[in-house]
Structure 1
Amino acid sequence: MSNPIPEKVHSYNVYDDTEKLVGVSAEVTLPTLELMSEAVSGAGMLGEYESPTPGHFGSITMEIPFRTLTDKSFSLLKNKGRSIVLRAAQQSYDVSGGGIRQRGLKITIRGIPKALELGKLAAGTQTETKNTIEVLYLKVEENGKVLLELDKLNSIYIVDGEDLLADVRNLI
């Protein structure tokens, strides 16, 4: 496919390892990644700048929202080292071929349960239950290509297929 115009997510599902998490709400907000940094200043410099440390990120959290309170919310609260996997079909328009094409997106997350917001009870409405996970491992793949792999506990930081911490691991 040449000259694709990325359009939207066509459909997605959320899995707890291999079992589909039924009841997840229509939208899952993906985590924000913010590199840890330190201000650098000194003689011969005009001011300061923030120097990020590759592979070192602040706390990364992700919420898994459910329409209603179910046993799955409590299951995610147990720390069993399971993965959360989001699988999506992303739609693009192929300018050269003149048609709609789909690209696979897979996001794998492992972490520690951090919170369970039970939500609210009201007749005829959703409870808006939310599980919050402290993300320790994150992998983003598109059509099988690794775009990002971050493993905070094993010093793995791969971006667009390049291992950015290989030299660091060899030195220590």
Structure 2
Amino acid sequence: MANTIPEKVVNFNVYSDVEKLIGVAGEVTMPDFEAMTETISGAGILGEYESATPGHFSSQSIEIPFRTISDSSFRFLENKGQTIVLRAAQQSYDVAGGKTSVRPLKITIKGTSKGLNLGKVAVGAPTETTATIEILYIKIQENGTTLLELDKLNFIYVINGTDLLEDVRNAI
């Protein structure tokens, strides 16, 4: 196993389904993965515990921040599905080789528009406009390898190449 230390994102771009989004601010916060659970208790169980349902997660959303109000931000008010792709260059340090290397990260998100916060207007300041998307699909790839794929509408939940819902789809 290579002795590499993951360090940071060197830079990234944000794309819609058709073009690079101009005017996106400096950071995009990724969604939380909070499993939907059911409390289990009863005969033979000391107390209770939370049982996660595989592939089922609470509502997830992502905000795309813009420096100013622009036509790119208003496309998120259209009543249609939205696709966002984040492409990043991640830096690692190779201890044995004594050099840094870059590996690509691609995050594809599909969903529906939840809203647009126009932000504020102030002299010499960004508006901090944000578009919010409800996530129905997310796929994270590093160096072309799928690390995560979650498709809430098609019963797909893949972690590190393993389809964790294959048995569920086959059963129903």
**Alignment partners' CA distance in 1, 2:77 and 2:2:** 44
Offset of residue 64 of structure 1: 0.3
Residue 56 of structure 1 pairs with residue 56 of structure 2: yes
| Matched residue SS, 1:33 | coil
Deviation, structure 1 residue 79: 3.3
Runs of 5+ unmatched residues, structure 2: none
Secondary structure in 1 matching 2:81: coil
Aligned partners of 2:67 and 2:126 also within 8 Å: yes
- 1:80 and 2:80 correspond: yes
Cα contact 2:81–2:113 (8 A) shared by 1:
no
Match of 2:33 in 1: 33
3-state SS in 1 of match to 2:126 = coil
2:170 corresponds in structure 1 to 170
Consecutive unaligned residues of structure 1, counting only runs of 5 or more, are none
Following TM superposition, by how much is the alpha carbon of 1:96 offset from its aligned partner in structure 2, in angstroms? 1.2
Match of 1:140 in 2: 140
Task: Output aligned runs, 1:15-34, within 5 Å.
Answer: 15-34=15-34
CA contact (8 A) 2:110 2:136 kept: yes
2-structure distance, mates of 1:17, 1:112: 13
Aligned equivalents of 2:91, 2:17: Cα separation in 1: 25
Number of equivalenced pairs: 172
SS at match of 2:170: helix
Q: Give the distance between the partners of 1:40 and 1:81, measured in 2 at CA.
A: 37
Contact 2:82 2:112 in 1 (8 A): no
Deviation per residue, 1:57-85 (Å, 9 max, x gap): 11001000000000111112213324100
Structure 1's 76 and 118: CA in aligned 2 closer, same or farther, altered over 3 A?
same
Deviations 1:25-83 (A, max 9, x none): 00100111111000000112111100000011110010000000001111122133241
Matched, 1:7 2:7: yes
Match of 2:154 in 1: 154
Measure, in 2, the Cα distance between the counterparts of 1:117 and 1:32. Answer: 21
Aligned partners of 1:30 and 1:102: how far apart in 2?
A: 21
Q: CA deviation at 1:18?
A: 3.7
Q: Residue 100 of structure 2 aligns to which amino acid in structure 1?
A: I
SS at match of 2:122: coil
The match for 1:124 is 124
Give 1:171's aligned amino acid: A
Q: When the two structures are superposed, what TM-score results if normalisation uses the length of structure 2?
A: 0.97
Asked whether the equivalents of residues 82 and 113 of structure 2 are also in contact (C-alpha less than 8 Å), the reply is no
TM-score by length of 1: 0.97
Q: Distance in 1 between matches of 2:68 and 2:90?
A: 27
Which residue in the other structure is 1:69 paired with?
Answer: 69
**Identity in percent:** 65
